[in-house]
Chain A
Amino acid sequence: MESPGARVLVIDDEPQIRRFLSISLSAQGYEVNEAASGREGLRMLATQGADLVILDLGLPDMDGQQTLRELRAWSSVPVIVLSVRASEAEKVAALDAGANDYVTKPFGVQEFSARLRALLRVKPESEQPTVFEDGHLQIDLGRRVVRRDGEPVTLSRKEWALLSLLVSHAGRVVTQPHLLRELWGPTHEDDTHYLRILVAKLRTKLGDDATAPRYIQTESGVGLRFIGES
């Protein structure tokens, strides 16, 4: 287990969802707290703290997005939001409001656990540069070096900016509007073709295949995710 004993707070109004998450997360060695509403969740986070928050976007007392905004006002704890499918805009909004990742309901426990591990691995306070290495590809964000099968890869400035954004959020989705803002500025948020062209170039240089990605995964309508497991 990556983070044995890490404390997870589940905020969801469905008792069945809380129960199965509690059982399966406990089985993996996490310590689980449950809250049935946004208010209760925020209170528990404030009083007892947590290493990670699982937040349902459809809560009865206050909108999940609002809970997220209030939470982000005073806490930087990693947050995974639970959302229903076919609402890409909602996902993007939650991610932009400070959520660290999302999972679509109904979700598989294995996929969910993988997201959880990825988030707990990257502690916000650990600002030290990440190094990625899988035998083919080596990315050192601190030294700004990318090697493919030992050969150095020359990246343009934008390609490098994109890669470092993705790698520093490895395992997590980075939204398209966020990438466009970071790379080209706020006036280019809708110029999605910029990103497509850049991603295609980057994939080619990394030896990645868009149809069967090993490194950069496209999440349709949401953003990009660096999936390489080091």
Chain B
Amino acid sequence: MQNSMKPDRTTQTDAPRAEAQRERDGSIGVASGATAMAELAYATAVTALAVIFSALAERSLGFTDLSLVFITAVLFVAVRTRMSIAVYAAVLCFLAYNFFFIHPRYTFYIAAGRSVATVVMFLVAALICGRLANRLRTQVILLRAAHAHTEALHTLGQQLATAADEGEVFRAGLGALRQAMGAEVVILSMDDATATLVNVASAPDDPDLEPDARAAAEWRLLHGQTADRGTDARHSPSWWCLPLSAGGRSLGMVCLRFSDRRAAPSPDLTNLAQAMVHAMAGASARTRLVTQLELARVQGETERLRAALLSSVSHDLRSPLATIVGSAESLSVYRDKLSREDQAVLAENILIEGQRLDRYIQNLLDMTRLGHGTLTIHREWVGLDELCGALLPRLRRLCPPTEIELQIPADLPLLYVNPALIEQALFNVLENAAKFSPSDQPVTLSAARCDGELQIRISDRGPGVPEEERQRIFDMFYSVGRGDRENRAKPGTGLGLAICQGIVAAHGGRVVALPGDDGQGTMILITLPVIDPPTDQPREE
């Protein structure tokens, strides 16, 4: 019966509580027959031992001293059993003491008046000792139970604090309730949209539990009872339902069924269950709030992107189209009235705007390909110098006045990339740099190998990017907002740098914007991993 602190949590939490429970319910002898018999036998055995010890010690001790032996025996029984057994032990010891050691021996008759006083005082002392020792024991048991409850609540609290979603909250709560209460547990979640109980979690994992528990929970929900167990017991005899609510809002229902089909557990177990359910409700409300916030944030972001896309499409598609349609119509309708120079200007307009439209559409296509994550990178070996050789003519056609200065060391390692994509990424950055750089200042592209990485720096001497915007310039459509506010003269789709970032990231690299070398202008730093070429060399000759 000794309650050792075993590592097994179930034993640790359940056993002392059961004992304390029995202590309260059964102090007047309601305990089950087998336990009572065992305890009576124990008390009797201890008394017998006390008699034997006293008989042996009788020669050296006086008969009054022997009463101490019996008091010790009563204490022994009292700290290990219930109050009723302690009283039984006290009476038994009193009788044994009287029968074996008080003159005349082997009778219950007491001859000397002094002995009567001793024996009666012994009985009183035994009863008081038994009572005190037993109360101490009960308190220890209750303390242990309370400690176990606190421990269980604490563990649950830790699990709930780290729960990322409602599912995790329910799983943690389910486990804790099942372990602490030793009951069948069903958790029903309230669906906000339909106001019905759904999303069932149950332990043990048995589908038969759910309909039964749901019926009880729905009855409970319908009648809106407080935790009045009597009423509950009448209508849903086996299930004990606790509402899961936070801030006055119903989040669901927790249903428990005990193995002995009690309607509800003892008050301290009730308190524990309610505390656990309360903690679950708090955590559940928190995760719901986080989910809602995230949803709102994503929706806001999507909305912002959609607005930016619309404004970009309407502006960047329509302006070149307006020029093309207007110029072409002028040429077609007023051709005879136009000078040759004017005709040439209009034709040039159509050409330039048509090319701009092409770049824009290409950007949108690139972005869509990157965005869908369907971009498969077909890699091959290529030199950065060759990529520059391919992209510079394209760039010169677009921004003729800007000079591009290249600083590419001859021993730079080959890149293992998709050449067309990386060419496009570099093109976008250079185009952007050329757009913002004064036309008499060169844009420089330099490259170096650094710590197993290839760093490509593209610097312009333009106005630079404020620190707080350096991250945002890689956002889709970012420059649209800026362009609208400040300069229409430098049209951009706001996609170029976003595409560059997407391409570089797809190659396992990264792009950052930094201030220029002496604080003037902007430096875009592209970092790509260096992959060593296969060691086999081409067969020569």
B-binding residues in A (CB < 8 A): 85-86, 88-89, 106, 156-158, 176, 184, 190-200, 209-213, 217-221
Contacts and interface: CB of A to CB of B under 8 A. Distances in A.
A86 B427 CA distance: 14
B162 to A, nearest CB: 45
A193 B358 contact: no
Contact of A219 (B362, B383, B390, B534): B390
A181 to B, nearest CB: 14
Nearest to A208: B389
A192 B381 contact: yes
Contacts of A194: 538
Contacts of B23: none
A89 B378 contact: yes
Contact of A106 (B354, B382, B414): B354
A157 B383 contact: no
A212 B393 CA distance: 9
Interface string B29-40: 000000000000
A221 B541 contact: no
Contacts of A220: 382, 386-387, 390-391, 419-420, 423
A197 B406 CA distance: 21
B385 interface: yes
Given A88-B420, A106-B358, A192-B380, A217 B534 contact: no
A85 B366 CA distance: 10
B55 interface: no
B354 A191 contact: no
Interface size class of chain B, counting residues whose CB lies under 8 Å from the partner chain: 20 to 34
B388 interface: yes
Given A158-B540, A196-B414, A217 B365 contact: no
Contact of B386 (A88, A190, A210): A210
A158 B369 CA distance: 39
A217 B389 contact: yes
B329 to A, nearest CB: 16
Contact of A209 (B381, B389, B390): B389
Contacts of B420: 86, 88, 220-221
B18 interface: no
A110 to B, nearest CB: 11
A203 to B, nearest CB: 9
Contacts of B355: 106
From A88, A184, A220, residue with most partner B Cβ within 10 Å: A220
A218 B390 contact: yes
A90 B386 CA distance: 21
Contacts of A200: 383
Given A217-B389, A221-B419, 6 more contacts: A85-B362, A176-B380, A193-B381, A195-B381, A220-B391, A220-B423
Contacts of B414: 193, 196
Contact of B383 (A86, A89, A210): A210
Contact of A157 (B354, B381, B541): B541
Contact of B388 (A184, A198, A210): A210
Contacts of A212: 389, 392
B491 interface: no
A96 to B, nearest CB: 15
B284 to A, nearest CB: 49
A210 B385 contact: yes
B418 interface: yes
B285 to A, nearest CB: 49
B538 A197 contact: yes
Contacts of A158: 538-541
Contacts of B387: 218, 220
B541 A196 contact: no
A195 B419 CA distance: 14
B384 to A, nearest CB: 9
B533 interface: yes
A221 B385 CA distance: 14
B538 A210 contact: no
A196 B533 CA distance: 11
A191 to B, nearest CB: 7
20 contacts: A86-B362, A86-B369, A86-B420, A88-B378, A88-B420, A158-B538, A158-B541, A184-B538, A192-B382, A209-B385, A210-B383, A211-B408, A212-B392, A213-B389, A217-B390, A218-B382, A218-B419, A220-B382, A220-B387, A221-B419
Contacts of B365: 86
A193 B534 contact: yes
B381 A196 contact: yes
Contact of B406 (A89, A176, A211, A217): A211
A218 B541 contact: no
Nearest to A109: B351
Contacts of A221: 378, 380, 418-420
A65 B540 CA distance: 35
Interface in B526-541: 533-534, 537-541
Contacts of B541: 156-158
A218 B366 contact: no
B383 A196 contact: yes
Contacts of A89: 378
B25 to A, nearest CB: 81
A53 B534 CA distance: 41
